[in-house]
Amino acid sequence: QKEVEQNSGPLSVPEGAIASLNCTYSDRGSQSFFWYRQYSGKSPELIMSIYSNGDKEDGRFTAQLNKASQYVSLLIRDSQPSDSATYLCAVNRGRASKIIFGSGTRLSIRP
Amino acid sequence: EAQVTQNPRYLITVTGKKLTVTCSQNMNHEYMSWYRQDPGLGLRQIYYSMNVEVTDKGDVPEGYKVSRKEKRNFPLILESPSPNQTSLYFCASGLGQGKGGSQFFGPGTRLTVL
């Protein structure tokens, strides 16, 4: 079992709809959780971080964390073609700063 | 402009020829890290550094060395490169101390080892 798991996709969502991306992790000691977006041929860029259970909203993005279920998700509202990218989930293990990334979910927004 | 720079951006080399990929950040970040990205395997952490003179292994450190003599620089050294080290390499810097996952990534270095 991978330590951080994501559905590789591609996930196809119509423009204007809500895109829902999911991530599960295996280490219960994980404390910090991050979503990165990576356009093809580019480097990852941080879009959301979340540290406690519940929802965190930033513009069209909402991150959701459920530590009991070891589950973190990213919702993108009013999806735009520019949201088409690979989304990487990352987890910070405990107090150490060793970071584990999932293999990413490819999101495609269709007009 | 706040940034992480890497050099070279592209490199083709031969097995066994030592090489160094440089990484520099201008954000005064304590935390720096190196990753490799391979199709189907995602981003895997090679080494990270919490501060000057403090480095630690990530998940795939074999065949790599790093040093952190200055806060801004974190070079990646391949003493004897092999074809299985052909990959896309990213350097990143961040706030560290539990927020180490909040990172800024460099543009990447595409390495081919023949």
- Residue in B31, B102, B104 nearest the CB of A34: B102
Suggest the residue from A3, A37, A87, A99 to mutate for an interface test with chain B (most B CBs closer than 10 A): A99
Q: Is the pLDDT of residue B99 over 80?
A: no
Mean pLDDT across B18-29 = 96
Q: Is the pLDDT of residue A95 over 70?
A: no
Counting residues of chain B whose pLDDT is more than 70, the rounded percentage is 95
Label each residue of chain A as H, E or C.
CCCEEECCCCEEEECCCCEEEEEEECCCCEEEEEEEEECCCCCCEEEEEECCCEEEEECCEEEEEECCCCEEEEEECCCCHHHCEEEEEEEEECCCCCEEECCCEEEEEEC
Mean pLDDT across B69-84 = 97
Distance from the Cα of B15 to chain A's closest Cα (Å) equals: 26
Name the average pLDDT for chain B.
93
How many interchain CB pairs under 8 A, A with B? 68
Suggest the residue from B43, B48, B74 to mutate for an interface test with chain A (most A CBs closer than 10 A): B43
| Closest listed residue to residue A90, CA positions, set A22, A28, A32, A39 | A32
Q: Are strands B87-94 and B103-105 parallel, antiparallel or unpaired?
A: antiparallel
Mean pLDDT across B3-21 = 97
Q: Which two tokens stand for residue A31?
A: 């404390």
- Please answer yes or no on whether A103 and B31 come within 8 Å at the CB atom: no
Q: Residue B98's pLDDT is what?
A: 56
Q: Is the pLDDT of residue B41 over 90?
A: no
- Please answer yes or no on whether B90 and A43 come within 8 Å at the CB atom: yes
Q: Residue B91's pLDDT is what?
A: 98
Q: Residue A60's pLDDT is what?
A: 97
Q: Residue A96's pLDDT is what?
A: 59
Between A45-54, A94-103, B63-72, the lowest mean confidence (pLDDT) is in A94-103
Q: Residue A7's pLDDT is what?
A: 87
Q: Residue B97's pLDDT is what?
A: 57
Suggest the residue from B103, B109, B110 to mutate for an interface test with chain A (most A CBs closer than 10 A): B103
Q: Is the pLDDT of residue B96 over 90?
A: no
Name every chain A residue with its beta carbon within 8 A of the beta carbon of B108.
43
